[in-house]
Amino acid sequence: MAEFLIWANEDKPGFGIKRGDVVEVRANDSPYSSMERLPDFIIIKIPELLLSAIEEYQTGWNLDIDFEIVNYDAALDGYRIKAFSTNASVSGKGYLSIQQIENFLLRWNATVLLTSQNEVIFDIWIFNAIKSPVFWDERPNVDNVVFSESYDQGSGIHEITADYSALNLNPTYVERYVRFKADEIISHSNREIVFTITRNNVFSEFKEDIKRKLKKVMIGKRLYYFGSGVVDTVISQGGVITATESELESYIKSKLDD
């Protein structure tokens, strides 16, 4: 048996919780404190289901984005990209905005072109991304490294020369660190290291980094909730009811549908 602990009192904007929100899901016979009862909480028990079947219903509602390639310049190895939210509600809550993503794009040396409802369109060039602070994990003084490249359009391989002679860095540390970031190190002498990296590896790292950072943006503390009619019914029956799996399907709602 699995159980839902549900907020039943007034909305609490300061806590990010609304009446009917799923606060937690628990296995049968889990302990409840004396405060986890009316007027603040109600409980719905589902004997047919194990905890694993309902754990998804206590997830938060966080920003999740994806990318679409609008155009690709093979000669310059540059992309025009559209970024958009994949889990906005029908009413538009959770749309991606320029304010949420712009600073992250600029750290990758991308250029924002235009925005519209749930869309941010920008250009990013692979060589510029390789030179960006965030590609090098925000290591200090990257701007003092002189980068140059030789790019093979067919293979997508960028051969990068990084001259770090302006920095007081240990070459052993530099080579070990670059080896972690690059596909292959070609040479290293006189504080100049030459390495290769493919466009796909850089582009993948860029997308994963932006998605990971925006995933921390909370749209709502909980994505799933029970409607006010269900909450009122449970309250009228003392705050605890038992329901079937099919009843649960009719009770539970997603804020994406609102």
Mind listing the pLDDT tens digit for each residue in 78-111?
999 999 999 999 999 999 999 999 999 999 999 9
19 neighbors 9 (Cβ within 8 angstroms): yes
Q: Are 206 and 129 in contact (CB under 8 A)?
A: yes
Residue 164: how many CA atoms within 13 Å on its side-chain side?
22
**What does the pLDDT average to over 104-121?**
97
pLDDT of the residue at 158:
98
Predicted local distance difference test score (pLDDT) of residue 144: 96
* Spatial separation of the C-alpha atoms in residues 46 and 5, rounded to whole Å: 12
pLDDT of residue 149 exceeding 90 = yes
Cβ distance 94 to 75 under 8 Å?
Answer: no
Average pLDDT over residues 21-30: 95
**Is the pLDDT reported for residue 1 higher than 90?**
no
Burial pattern 21-60, b for ≥16 Cβ within 10 A else e, equals bbbbbbeeeeeeeeeeeeebbbbbebeebeeeebeebbee
Query: Rounded to two decimals, what is the model's pTM?
Result: 0.89
* Residue 14 pLDDT level (bands cut at 50, 70, 90): confident
Q: Which of 32-36, 66-70, 145-149, 232-236 has the lowest mean pLDDT?
A: 32-36
pLDDT at 13: 86
What average pLDDT does range 157-179 have in this prediction?
Answer: 97
Average pLDDT, the chain: 96
What's the whole-number mean pLDDT along residues 4-14? 94
What pLDDT does 75 receive?
94
User: In this prediction, what percent of the chain has a pLDDT beyond 70?
Assistant: 100
For residue range 195-229, list pLDDT tens digits in order: 999 999 999 999 999 999 999 999 999 999 999 99
Say yes or no to pLDDT of 140 above 90: no
Please give the Cα distance from 159 to 141 (Å, whole number). Answer: 21
Identify whether the C-beta of residue 109 lies closer than 8 Å to the C-beta of residue 131: yes
